[in-house]
Structure 1
Amino acid sequence: MNVPLGRRVAAEAIGTGLLVAVVVGSGIQATGLSPDAGVRLLANSLATVFGLGVLITVFGPVSGAHFNPVVTLVAWFGGRRTPDGLALRDVAAYVPAQIVGAIGGAVLADAMFGEPLVKFSTHDRFAGHLWLGEVVATAGLILLVLGLGRIGRAASAPAAVASYIGAAYWFTSSTSFANPAVTIGRAFTDTFAGIAPASVVPFIAAQLLGGALGLGVVAVVHGPLVAPARHDIGTPGSRPEPEPVTS
């Protein structure tokens, strides 16, 4: 691995922070521009699609652009017996960086729009159908991220992952958080994209379950991993390779 761990951790923190800033900031902007909830969600989802695609493209060659503890965990689990898989020390560094970055991104978005820097959300999302939505959204994300690597299409990750998240905004009941770090970050803002702190733990539990389910589906569809994993640059669920890859 040519990229030092410190640089990879910085990329994960900054990338996750910018992702949350996009999600929260576009939600605040949309709320100020339209009273219609559908228009707000459309604006929020489009900004997230474009922002996520750019962030994966920029940070993928450095850290793999996980921006998501579930992606990091399944990348470690799936590659733990391969020479180029994530090490436990990488996981231990990535996950806190993602969480800190997500909180910082929410604070940054609030600051840009003159909102209180930290005001815990009152947006209750405590319901079984929302948890099911998170299971489905996260399982689909993991299937996509790992599946792209298994079929040699990792260079498509920026467009494919961003497109999936944009679609999942609309086809899941929870609007597809699908990310424990982002979920925690969004609890720190009492705006359109927020989630009440009491709703965070069930969401994260559903996301972890979805991650395990997605990993199982990958094994069923693509077969068990029997050879050293190929980790192409730009894949949110993988580690970079030494050679440059353009996308």
Structure 2
Amino acid sequence: MPAPDVTDAALAAPVAGSMPARGGLVGMVTAEATGTGLLVTAIIGSGIAADQAFPDSPGTALLVNAITTGAALAALICTLGAVSAAFNPLVTLLARADRGLTTRQGLAAILAQLVGAGIAVLAANTMFALPPLTLASTERADGPVLLGEFIATLGLLLVVALTARTGNITRIGLAVGGYITAAMWFTSSTAFANPAVTLARTGTDTFTGITPSSALAFLALQAVALPATYLLVRLINRSIP
């Protein structure tokens, strides 16, 4: 299958050309499950470690969590981007909407992301000698926080979509990792911006956890950000030669 025109298909996932650049469906599924799993492990694991190291300083703990998350995300995109590096069902859906993926590829990628995230929350909890699965008790879904989650998700998807048109995996990795590091501080929601990550974080009653009810509200705002991003990218791309 020929690679799509990146200039015209700016919503492709963060790799050069299309998600399954090499390795076919098996390679794509393996990369998505592995990358999403390692990302979730970095988020939850660094949150637990930071909270243990700085129990009386949540700001410092968040700083450690944000830097670790952004660095891990950038590294994973740069490492796996030649095969597949969406790690986010929303990014995958954008790629499918712009015909960067087939329906079969998109569904396989999303399933892999969810499975990878689910395994990772068990591993992260266990790694710090906690029960493998503990229902989160942190409520996050008030109005201002939900606005923050919408903004965080919209910004992330814009960064992915508009840097993808460059076809430069390193640039995409640095841009996405940098944005997430910043958004974890400048948004009130601390920038979940990923349905697979959001669902996984309901399974850890630690620094990065979120209650199932709050997670449902986050998922709704993430879903709203998806078509908004699609329209914005279309408008922006009209002015880009």
Q: TM-score range by the shorter chain?
A: 0.7 to 0.9
CA distance in 2, matches of 1:223, 1:193: 39
Matched, 1:111 2:120: no
Matched, 1:181 2:186: no
2:40·2:200 contact (CA, 8 Å) conserved in 1?
A: yes
CA distance in 1, matches of 2:52, 2:230: 40
Percent identity over paired residues:
43
Aligned with residue 49 of structure 1, among 46, 49, 70: 70
CA distance in 2, matches of 1:224, 1:218: 10
CA distance in 2, matches of 1:155, 1:30: 28
Counterpart position of 2:93: 73
CA-to-aligned-CA distance 1:14-62 (integer Å, 9 cap, x gap): 1101100000000000111012010010010011111111111111111
Structure 1 residues 7 and 169: CA distance shift in structure 2, 3 A:
same
Counterpart position of 1:132: 147
CA distance in 1, matches of 2:196, 2:182: 20
Structure 2 residues not aligned, in runs of 5+: 1-20
- Give SS of 2:206's match: coil
Counterpart position of 1:26: 46
Matched, 1:60 2:75: no
CA-to-aligned-CA distance 1:150-187 (integer Å, 9 cap, x gap): 35555401111000000100111100000000000111
Matched, 1:97 2:112: yes
1:139·1:212 contact (CA, 8 Å) conserved in 2?
A: no
Give me the CA root mean square deviation.
1.6
Counterpart position of 1:193: 208
- Give SS of 1:140's match: helix
1:139·1:213 contact (CA, 8 Å) conserved in 2?
A: yes
- Give SS of 2:90's match: helix
Runs of 4+, deviation exceeding 2 Å: 149-155
Aligned with residue 172 of structure 1, among 178, 187, 191: 187
Segment of structure 1 superposing worse, 4-13 or 151-160: 151-160
2:74·2:173 contact (CA, 8 Å) conserved in 1?
A: yes
CA distance in 2, matches of 1:211, 1:224: 21
CA-to-aligned-CA distance 1:41-96 (integer Å, 9 cap, x gap): 00100111111111111111111x00000000011102x2xxxx200001111111
CA-to-aligned-CA distance 1:82-129 (integer Å, 9 cap, x gap): xxx200001111111111111111111111100110011001112121
2:149·2:193 contact (CA, 8 Å) conserved in 1?
A: yes
Instruction: Give 1:218 deviation, angstroms.
Output: 0.8
CA-to-aligned-CA distance 1:186-230 (integer Å, 9 cap, x gap): 1110000001011111111111111221111111111299xxxxx
Structure 1 residues 157 and 127: CA distance shift in structure 2, 3 A:
same
Matched, 1:7 2:22: no
Counterpart position of 1:157: 172
- Give SS of 2:52's match: helix
Using structure 2 for the length normalisation, give the TM-score.
0.87
CA distance in 2, matches of 1:152, 1:62: 13
1:134·1:206 contact (CA, 8 Å) conserved in 2?
A: yes
CA distance in 2, matches of 1:152, 1:11: 18
Structure 1 residues 166 and 5: CA distance shift in structure 2, 3 A:
same
